[in-house]
Amino acid sequence: MRRLLSLSLLLATALAAAPAAEVRPNILLIVADDLGYNDVGFQGGRDIPTPHLDRLAAAGVRCTDGYVSYPVCSPSRAGFLTGRYQQRFGYEFNPKWDATAVTHGLPLSETTLADSLRSAGYTTGAIGKWHLGAHPQFHPNRRGFDEYFGFLGGGHRYLPGSLVEVEVGAGKKAIVSGDAEQSSPLLRNSTEVPEVGELTTRLGEEATASVTRHARDSKPWFLYLAFNAPHTPMQARADQLARFASIADERRRTYAAMVATVDEAVGRMLAALDATGQRERTLIFFISDNGGPMTKRNANASVNSPLRGQKGDVFEGGIRVPFLVVWPARIPAGGTYAQPVISLDILPTALAAAGATRDAKLAALDGVDLLPFLTRKNSAGPHARLFWRMDGGEAFAVREGNWKWLRTYQNTPQLYDLSADLGETRDLAAARPEIAARLASAAAAWNRGLIAPAFGNNPFGGLINRTGLEKDSAP
């Protein structure tokens, strides 16, 4: 009897000591919208306290050279939800807000991260901004998500019934009360629900409820939490605005309040993970969908320092973003990773962590599993090169090691050494023509594997000839 008891105790101890990594993790993808590179504490920001995001960063790895695949909202999302350069399937512009537009959205031929994880036995949910098509065929419930709460457009007012500042052309803005996209209905799955309270706060409450609700499920969950903050319109809760009364610029003050509200919502959700014992077995990604729009359309008073450029640019300020990967059971805390990574890596990393079998449609992924690199089992870089194409071929960029080549809107090609010139101020194309030619040639070869935009503002074909890539790559 004593021997049997000893064996039982040994078995119980062994089970209790089993590494958490053997349990398939929950997967949480948090996306901010138009967040400035330097506007959170873990990136060096000082005027907007983000204690919850800073603690999240300290619990995992901060990817210092983390990128998105496009410097504008919707194509960026199409990329990271499929793990593929979105130009491979013609997704290169924001879709128009039109529930009858059957081509303006994420093509039905594409398999999403939610599709794959649901097939692998995960409960899947999306909360917040969708912006991947307003037609019913593109609805999140039809793209792999069991549960959805949010809005289908690219933007939404934060305060119920409020007036909204919108673009009316030629750089002019107007205050309106009935902008269809900004005031589109909130949905729980396909059912309209009333607007109650400030939107970012409510999205955080919905995410916290989801985390708590699924804590005792027999299967793991995937939650995609897509804030629309701090994207315009510039609106925030009165108590948050009061916190930043010392910021003289009204737009920056509101922006700070919006970022702080995102941080508060993330903190509430992380507390729920802790309270329900799920933190160790939850793989968390945090990114922005692109750089902050400092002066361009929908400018929000963000700061991308020390980077050059902003949302809509292939300079670093448009494509390099805050990028965190956290998994206490597997990834050492408090580190940084300086090799270039991209949001396309989120899908294969999540599938690897979940032990999910790849769908046949996912054979041509452009992202890679980051876990061997972030755990230092693989000392090589995840990518030989990263690529960007914008506006149907009006702008290109390539990163190879520390070298960055780019061509923007018919301007002459430029070359930068990011290790010595993060702000892209010293063009070395003339001094290092062999590197410029090699990267231009690589961009041209990559471009030949893409297709023309399926919708948007691109009126021309012959994308390579349009930008002279073949000429730029000539020896």
Q: Shortest CA distance to 341 belongs to which of 21, 62, 60?
A: 62
Q: Where would I find the H helices in 140-182?
A: none
User: Active site includes 52?
Assistant: no
Q: How far apart are CA 253 and CA 231, in angstroms?
A: 14
- Among residues 52, 104, 131, 383, the one annotated as catalytic is 131
User: Is 149 within 8 Å of 206 (Cβ atoms)?
Assistant: yes
Number of residues that this document lists for the chain: 475
Q: How far apart are CA 458 and CA 382, in angstroms?
A: 32
Q: How far apart are CA 83 and CA 160, in angstroms?
A: 35
Q: How far apart are CA 393 and CA 390, in angstroms?
A: 6
Query: How far out from the chain centre does Cα 402 lie?
Result: 23
Q: How far apart are CA 297 and CA 94, in angstroms?
A: 13
Phi-psi region of 424 (alpha: psi -120 to 50; beta: other; left: phi over 0): left
Phi-psi region of 155 (alpha: psi -120 to 50; beta: other; left: phi over 0): beta
Spatial CB neighbours of 34, under 8 Å, sequence gap ≥ 6: 73, 230, 231, 232, 288, 289, 290, 291, 292, 293, 298, 300, 302, 311
Phi/psi at 11 (nearest 5 deg)?
-65, -45
> What sign results for the dihedral spanned by CA atoms 89, 92, 95, 100?
negative
- Among residues 52, 63, 73, 231, the one annotated as catalytic is 73
DSSP 37: T
Q: How far apart are CA 350 and CA 124, in angstroms?
A: 13
CA distances, 221 to each of 4, 145, 246, 273 (Å): 37, 11, 41, 12
Cα distance from N-terminal residue to C-terminal residue, the chain: 82
Query: How far out from the chain centre does Cα 24 lie?
Result: 23
Structure tokens at 320: 């390099």
Q: Which helix (H) or strand (E) holds 411?
A: none
User: Active site includes 73?
Assistant: yes
Catalytic residue numbers, as ranges: 73, 131
